Amino acid sequence: MIRLWHVAQSRSFRVLWALEEMELAYDLVPCDFLDGSLRAPEHLARSPAGRVPAVELDGLCLCESGAILHYLAETRAPHLRVAEGAAGRAAFLQGLHYAETLGAHLANLTQQHIVLRENWMRSPTVMRLEARRLANALGAVGPDLVMGEFTVADIAQGYAVLLAQRFVDLPDCAAAYLRDCAARTGFQRALAADGPGAIYTQAFYPPPEG
């Protein structure tokens, strides 16, 4: 049995989506960023940074969402990756890891808009700058799937675009890409299993005027 420690709306959604796409049995362990459980010794043994996702499978503990996606595809769903030496391998890896470029801007915006709860803690300059950077980076996404066929690279990027729409108006190419991802049955099952969102309570977090 695969066990996934998960917080709704977080990067662990990538793994949840992958498990649903692959139609794998799993045990979902809901977690909370605010109750201290992610800092407990037993969770830090799974995820030294005190974050999610954390996964137990094949006698291993893994805690990096991109690595988990890649490992799941290699061991359970080879049709959702491009093998070493195969045509398109470089584009697949580029697509899988480009999600981290998007994720860096999303993490900064989440920090500024949500984690820093008092206005005096926030930087309007950083919020505007990161929103512009995210919008520019989204211009390289879609409208087609990374390899023309669905892979775990699309799970990684699709989650990033799903979250990005809370901070910027999606360019047409990214909006079309998200529609393709969201139409998938695996995505819809994962969204239903995700749980009530406690991180992003607003549909949109606009950058401050300035």
Decide if 192 is inside a domain: no
Decide if 196 is inside a domain: no
Give kind and range of the element (H or E) at residue 30. Answer: strand 26-30
Mean pLDDT per 10-residue interval, the chain, length 210 residues: 97 98 98 92 96 97 97 98 94 95 98 95 97 97 79 97 98 95 97 93 92
pTM tops 0.85: yes
pLDDT of residue 198: 85
Decide if 8 is inside a domain: yes
In terms of domains, do 62 and 140 share one? no
In terms of domains, do 51 and 95 share one? no
Q: Which of 165, 161, 187, 155 is closest to 81 using CA atoms?
A: 155
pLDDT of residue 138: 97
Which residue, of 50, 80, 110, is where some domain finishes?
Answer: 80
Residue 7 maps to which CATH number? Answer: 3.40.30.10
pLDDT of residue 147: 67
Which residue, of 46, 80, 114, is where some domain finishes?
Answer: 80
pLDDT of residue 209: 87
Number of domains in the chain: 2
In terms of domains, do 94 and 38 share one? no
Decide if 63 is inside a domain: yes
Say which DSSP state 115 is in: I
In terms of domains, do 176 and 95 share one? yes
pLDDT of residue 146: 72
pLDDT of residue 111: 97
The packing angle between helices 124-138 and 152-164, to 10°, is 140
Decide if 206 is inside a domain: no
